[in-house]
Amino acid sequence: MDSFEFNKFAGAVLFGVLVIFGVGQLSNILVHPTNPEQVAFPVPEIEGAAPTAVAETEEETISLGTLLAAADAGKGERVARKCTSCHTFDDGGANRVGPNLYGIMGDPKARTGGFSYSSALADMGGEWSIENMDAFLESPKGYVPGTKMAFAGLRKPTDRANLILYLRSLGDADMALPAPE
């Protein structure tokens, strides 16, 4: 084997290593893995084993009144940006995929004229109290089975409290907040 053949062989091996290294680096640039907020399939703890991360993520249940006492309507306005693709929040605003939400707190469910609500929500009756809104925002399809709303919900109780306080600040309804525990 002369030196030219050896150089071709060494160059091919070096090129292969560089391609593998480059693909690895490119995949790290394109994909940023993150840990989920909630474990999808918690593993039961084994007796005598060290506590797992699942036990650390369990949060103590905080009352809605306590959450609302610490809530911030400004943060709720930022949370509401998730909703702006389907809803408007200004007085006299137009309906989009979802109805205008200005002054919704304290109003009857399925209240906005000119908007076609799902029959499940229209038949539910009642008004948007703070507790009803919290349950709806947590899981719209869980609160109103058959709703047309495709949003999965807000899992963080603090986000829901901030958004409820923001919605309460819109319009002229001054609903009393539940007492903190």
Which range marks the domain in which residue 9 is found?
A: 3-55
Same domain for 43 and 76: no
- Residue 47: pLDDT band (50, 70, 90) is low
Q: Residue 168 in contact with residue 77, Cβ under 8 Å? A: no
Distance CA 22, CA 56 (A): 38
0.85 surpassed by pTM: no
| Number of structural domains found in the chain | 2
**Where is the domain boundary, 15, 32, 55?**
55
CATH code at 107? 1.10.760.10
In a domain, 177, yes or no: no
In a domain, 181, yes or no: no
Does position 53 have pLDDT exceeding 60, yes or no? no
Q: Average pLDDT, stretch 79-87?
A: 93
Per-residue pLDDT of 109-149, as tens digits, reads 998 778 899 999 989 989 999 999 999 999 999 999 999 89
In a domain, 38, yes or no: yes
Look at residues 111, 76, 119, 75 and name the one whose alpha carbon lies nearest to residue 95. 111
